Structure 1
Amino acid sequence: MITLRNVVLRRGTKVVLDDASVVLQPGEKVGLVGRNGAGKSSLFALLTDRLHSDKGDVEIPRHWALAEVAQHMPETDMPATEFVLEGDIRLMAARQALADAEAADDGHAIADAYAQLMDAGSLDAPARAQALLMGLGFKGTQVDAPVNSFSGGWRMRLQLARALMCPSDLMLLDEPTNHLDLDALVWLEAWLQRYEGTLIVISHDREFLDAITKVTLHLDDAKLHRYGGNYTAFESMRAERMLQQQQAFDKQQERMAHLQKFIDRFKAKASKAKQAQSRVKALERMEKLAPVLTASDFSFEFREPLNLPNPMLMFDTVSVGYDTSEGEKVIVRGIDRSVLAGQRFGILGANGQGKSTFVKTVARMQRALGGTITEGKGLSIGYFAQQEMDVLRPDEGPLMHMIRLAKEVSPGAREQELRDFLGQFRFVGDMVNQEVGSLSGGEKARLVLAMLVWQRPNLLLLDEPTNHLDLQTREALSMALNEFEGTVMLVSHDRALLREVCDEFWLVADGKLAPFDGDLDDYQRWLLEQSKEAAKLAKEEAKQALRAARSGSGSASASSAAATPAPAATPVAVMPTPAPAPVKREERKLTGQQRQKLNEQTRPLRKEMEQIDARMKAWTEERAALEAQLSAAGQSPAQIAEAGKRLKAIGDEVEEAEMRWLELSEQVDAIMSTG
């Protein structure tokens, strides 16, 4: 277990932890939360021995293997798969042992090294590494590309894959979702849910925390408070705790005022002097409770647009993409849609399908490669770029950005007015002149939001606006968007924001953009189905490759296979299978008897699922008949009422059946995963 006992940690003059104590049990999944600057990353540094406590004890089992995401950007020509493989420290140790044994020509040591390689899963290690890469959004053509060929965000995904590759007892993840799209985020959630070690994760994505964690550590005012439950449970328990603290404080204030009133009234009277003196002592001995202090709320709102053209945009067989040295590269083609005033779209799709390219084209950041985009008269676009520096200048301060913007949209604005406006977004004092390049990610994001608000747009294009925002600012953004009178197009992996803001979704996939008929839960189910289909295809391709290899010139020698692992079949984003610790060969092999046993265990569950499917089909047919009846002429009020009641009953039955089907599906998956 992990134990912090009366720990004091200082960073310069700032006290990060003050007499903090907490115990975390093996296998617990913990969300570490707290405002920006509270010291969460410093606590991670303490757990990894990069920092040492000024007082108190930090105890972590010595034999525990640690995995974390390195924060530096790797600079290497190493292929991506090999870079990720190096995260498996046991595999790397086995490879080194083999190299040393061969150099020493020690037959016994060579045999031991081969045994270590087998226990470390060397034969399927490349396939596991590539599955991680594909799950995190890399394409099949990228898994062996040089690390240096990727942008900064993609290199951070490589670092994340490298951490997941490491067999570990303790995993520390600091904002792992910042550089992920929704597809990769869903995959990562599934992977972490099956991780068997102890997990501590820092995140500002409440749905991610709710899905992964069962314990919440709150770092506040240099104190650590443990709550049993995910983030939503933590919020509820903390609100109750704060209410109780405030009630105790108010009650104590009343008691103290009563004592002081008695003292002031009777301290001069000889007959009451003794009683007054005892109350003075009681007041002095009383342990003073502090009032409940919370971080100042942050809120803002988008100003009312000057006009609302309708329609705002019309797309006529539009193609979007980008120019390359070899010519035009079309990603999405044949877009025929219209955008009306007040609509709120969430744009879904896997990484690389063209979501950001589409948004950039609408934002006039790049030209359409075909078709016609017709803009409504008076259209005013506010664009939040996924990379904030696309719209910011690193050598200028926030005030200079606002002065330049004001010259374009409101020439009459005074400098003091701009300073006051920036103050609403927490840019105060000298911060208004601090170079943007030196600001934190959250501060840059707030500056972009401030610039959007000042422009008074009627169409907001937001491409991953929450990447660097804390939970408080995310909630403020959600409220502001819900009150915004214009149109919103949102690309985000923050499901809470998508659920709260968007009324409908567009899906970018297979070179097309079309409405998605469903909500986010339907989209996640669709992603899982796509992943299962891809996994089946991958297995079939692997079998075919194995048959071809066996019918060829024969297998390579064990020595060459260990020293130079054979390339895996074309990888796909299969369902995640984390392996916190390597297992023996016989444990990885599922026998026919085991499969039969698992099938017998799941047979009743599968049968009930089939029965539910049959009932669902019958309900669907009945619902269609009732709807046709209601739309037909000549129905009496009694018939209409009866049909309406039955439709309501069917809706309730369908909802209950769907919940039961999901429960059964989870039970089947749990049983099969134990095999």
Structure 2
Amino acid sequence: MITLRNITLRRGAKIVLDDASVTLQPGEKIGLVGRNGAGKSSLFALLTDRLQSDKGEVDIPRQWAVGEVAQNMPETAESATDFVLAGDVRLMAARKALEDAEVLEDGHAMADAHALLMDAGAFDAKPRAQALLMGLGFKGEQVEAPVNSFSGGWRMRLQLARALMCPAELMLLDEPTNHLDLDALVWLEAWLQRYDGTLIIISHDREFLDAITKVTLHLDEAKLHRYGGNYTAFEAMRAERMEQQQAAFGKQQERIAHLQKFIDRFKAKASKAKQAQSRVKALERMEKLAPVLASADFNFEFREPLNLPNPMLMFDEVACGYEVDGVENIIVRGINRSVLAGQRIGILGANGQGKSTVVKTVARMHRALGGKITEGKGLTIGYFAQQEMDVLRPDEGPLSHMVRLAKECSPNAREQELRDFLGQFRFVGDMVNQQVGSLSGGEKARLVLAMLVWQRPNLLLLDEPTNHLDLNTREALSMALNEFEGTVMLVSHDRALLREVCDEFWLVSKGEVAPFDGDLDDYQRWLLDQSKEAAKAAKDAAKQAAKNGGKAGAAMASTTPAPVAAAAPAAKPAVREDRKLSGQARQKLAEQTKPLRREMEGIDAKLNKLADERSNIEAELASGKASPTQIADLGKRLKGIHDELEAAELRWLELSAEVDAIYAAG
């Protein structure tokens, strides 16, 4: 178990933990909550020895491996799969042991290293790594792409996958959902529910915490308070605790006032001096209770729009996408929808289907690549970009942003009015001139919200607005959106926000936009069904690949041309003639590729034979009956089998590429 005893932790002049103690049991799933800046990430650093406490003890079992998401942005040309595989420290150690043994030509060490590789699950490690990547939204062709070819958000997903790959007894996840779409979030939620180690999560996603955690650890006023329950249960228990604390404080204040009144009245009288002195001592011995000081809530509201055109938008066969070097790449086409005044539309869809592209097209960030978008007269759009820096300037301060915006929207606004307005969003004093590039993610998000409110829009386009918002600010946003009189189009992985704000959903899928007939629970079930189908298909392909000889079978499944479907029995003569010609072409291609396919069949047989031999050697090593000399010989033979398999699989892939080239040319 994890035990923190009387911990005091300072960061500069700030006390993060003050004589804090808590005990966490093995296998517990814990949500670590507290306001922004309370010190949650510092507590993680304490648990991983990146920080040392000023006082007290931290006790974590020495044998526990700890997994966490690295916050640095990886910059490497290695493939996404190899980068994630490197997160499995046991596998990497076993591989290193085998490399060292091979250099020394030490058969005993080779056999030991192969045993370590078996324990680490080396033979299915790559599929496991790629399953993590696919679950987090990477496409089939992306799993072998170089890490430095991905954007920042995708690289953070790679870091998350690498952390999940680690066989850890303790997993620390700091805002793991920030860069995820809803489909990836649902997958991660299911994965963490199955995780059997100890898990501590920092998150501002209420439903995510409720689905996974059974314990809530609240960091407040430099103290740690443990609650048995998920986030919703924690809120109820904390409210009750605060009410009891406030009642106890009130009673104590009444008692203090009563004692002080007696002391003040009788301390000068000789006949009552003794009683007065005893009450003075009672006051001194009394442990003073502190009043409940609730954190100041953050609230804001969108101003009433000047007008509400209806319809606000009309899509007529609209195609959305982007251009690269003058080449159009259409992602979604054929949109025929209307957006009416007062609608609350949640935009759903798996990662990469084009949700953000649709929003950017409506926001005029991208031009429509086809069809026509008709805007209602007086349409005013407020756009919250998924990447806040798309609409912010890093070298300017919040006040400069507001001054520039006021020149466009309300040229008569005075600077003091703009300063007062920013103060409503917690930009006070010198913060109004602090460069945006140095602000935290939450501060940038609040600035974008302030700019939206000032524009007085009648259509709000919000693309993942909660990525850097704490729970209080998310609740304030939800309340403001519910009171907003205009139209909302929302892309978000925050299910609580979608439930509270949206009354209908659009699904972006397979290049189309269509209404989704159901609620968020229906959509989540649909996502899980899709994930199960994909997993089953991958599992079946893996089984088939194993039958066909490992990688060769998998490659064959992906590269062999699909069989031509049988023609309908009642075909016209012209169709029969076409079929005859195509049959002749197929026969010609078959003759051309026959020698290549024959060699591939021979390689398949060899691969199966080598795989069987490897299994027999591994079984013999595992039995413990082999003599030291036999172990050394078997270890060397395993190395030879490994090399033969690599060479045979490489030759199979070369032949497969030649067959593909012949079919493509024909």
TM-score by length of 2: 0.83
Instruction: Tell me the CA shift for residue 123 of structure 1.
Output: 1.0
CA distance in 2, matches of 1:116, 1:548: 26
Matches within 5 A, 1:492-507: 492-507=492-507
% same residue: 83
Secondary structure of 2:18's match? strand
> Corresponding residue for 1:248?
248
1:238-277 deviation per Cα after TM superposition (whole angstroms, max 9, x unaligned): 1111001000000111111122222333334444333333
> Corresponding residue for 1:639?
none
> Corresponding residue for 2:44?
44
Aligned AA for 2:240?
E
Aligned AA for 2:437?
G
Instruction: Tell me the CA shift for residue 404 of structure 1.
Output: 0.2
CA distance in 2, matches of 1:562, 1:100: 16
Aligned AA for 2:334?
G
Counterpart of 2:639 (choices 550, 556, 559) is 559
> Corresponding residue for 2:541?
541
Matches within 5 A, 1:277-288: 277-288=277-288
> Corresponding residue for 2:635?
none
Instruction: Tell me the CA shift for residue 531 of structure 1.
Output: 1.2
> Corresponding residue for 2:573?
none
1:255-311 deviation per Cα after TM superposition (whole angstroms, max 9, x unaligned): 111222223333344443333332233223222111001111110000000001111
Aligned AA for 1:185?
L
> Corresponding residue for 2:225?
225
Is this contact kept in 2: 1:117–1:562, CA < 8 A?
A: no
CA distance in 1, matches of 2:178, 2:37: 17
Instruction: Tell me the CA shift for residue 560 of structure 1.
Output: 6.9
> Corresponding residue for 1:618?
none
> Corresponding residue for 1:610?
none
CA distance in 2, matches of 1:289, 1:530: 55
Is this contact kept in 2: 1:383–1:461, CA < 8 A?
A: yes
Is this contact kept in 2: 1:122–1:562, CA < 8 A?
A: no
> Corresponding residue for 1:649?
none
Aligned AA for 1:355?
K
TM-score by length of 1: 0.82
> Corresponding residue for 2:206?
206
Is this contact kept in 2: 1:6–1:19, CA < 8 A?
A: yes
1:140-193 deviation per Cα after TM superposition (whole angstroms, max 9, x unaligned): 010000000000000000000000001110110000000000000000000000
> Corresponding residue for 2:116?
116
> Which structure 2 segments of 5+ residues have no match?
554-600, 612-637, 651-666
Return the structure number with greater relative CO, CA threshold 8 A, min gap 6.
1
Is this contact kept in 2: 1:361–1:368, CA < 8 A?
A: yes
1:476-496 deviation per Cα after TM superposition (whole angstroms, max 9, x unaligned): 000000000000000000000
1:64/1:444 Cα in 2 relative to 1: closer, same or farther (>3 Å)?
Answer: same
Secondary structure of 1:18's match? strand
Aligned AA for 2:253?
Q
> Corresponding residue for 2:426?
426
1:426-461 deviation per Cα after TM superposition (whole angstroms, max 9, x unaligned): 000000000000000000000000000000000000
> Corresponding residue for 1:634?
none
Matched pairs, number:
567
Aligned AA for 2:259?
L
1:21/1:238 Cα in 2 relative to 1: closer, same or farther (>3 Å)?
Answer: same
CA distance in 2, matches of 1:424, 1:562: 66
Instruction: Tell me the CA shift for residue 328 of structure 1.
Output: 0.8
> Corresponding residue for 1:477?
477
Aligned AA for 2:391?
V
Instruction: Tell me the CA shift for residue 532 of structure 1.
Output: 1.6
Aligned AA for 1:357?
T
> Corresponding residue for 1:8?
8
Is this contact kept in 2: 1:3–1:22, CA < 8 A?
A: yes
1:317-374 deviation per Cα after TM superposition (whole angstroms, max 9, x unaligned): 1010001237111101110000000000110001110000000000011100001100
1:104/1:502 Cα in 2 relative to 1: closer, same or farther (>3 Å)?
Answer: same
1:87-110 deviation per Cα after TM superposition (whole angstroms, max 9, x unaligned): 011111111011000000101111
> Corresponding residue for 1:364?
364
CA distance in 1, matches of 2:5, 2:390: 46
Secondary structure of 1:476's match? helix
Is residue 134 from structure 1 mapped to residue 134 from structure 2 by the alignment? yes
Aligned AA for 1:536?
K
Aligned AA for 2:203?
S
1:624-647 deviation per Cα after TM superposition (whole angstroms, max 9, x unaligned): xxxxxxxxxxxxxxxxxxxxxxxx
CA distance in 2, matches of 1:292, 1:268: 36
> Which structure 1 segments of 5+ residues have no match?
568-675
Aligned AA for 1:43?
L
CA distance in 1, matches of 2:169, 2:267: 65
> Corresponding residue for 2:273?
273
> Corresponding residue for 1:592?
none
Is residue 107 from structure 1 mapped to residue 187 from structure 2 by the alignment? no
Aligned AA for 1:49?
D
- Higher deviation after alignment, 95-104 or 321-330: 321-330
CA distance in 1, matches of 2:641, 2:205: 43
Matches within 5 A, 1:172-183: 172-183=172-183
Aligned AA for 2:370?
G
1:584-622 deviation per Cα after TM superposition (whole angstroms, max 9, x unaligned): xxxxxxxxxxxxxxxxxxxxxxxxxxxxxxxxxxxxxxx
Secondary structure of 2:142's match? coil
Structure having the higher Rg? 2
Aligned AA for 1:138?
F
> Corresponding residue for 1:375?
375
Aligned AA for 2:230?
N
- Higher deviation after alignment, 133-142 or 277-286: 277-286
CA distance in 2, matches of 1:178, 1:560: 46
Give the aligned CA root-mean-square deviation in angstroms.
1.5
Secondary structure of 1:141's match? helix
> Corresponding residue for 2:631?
none
Aligned AA for 1:295?
S
Is this contact kept in 2: 1:67–1:172, CA < 8 A?
A: yes
CA distance in 2, matches of 1:560, 1:154: 39
Matches within 5 A, 1:591-602: none
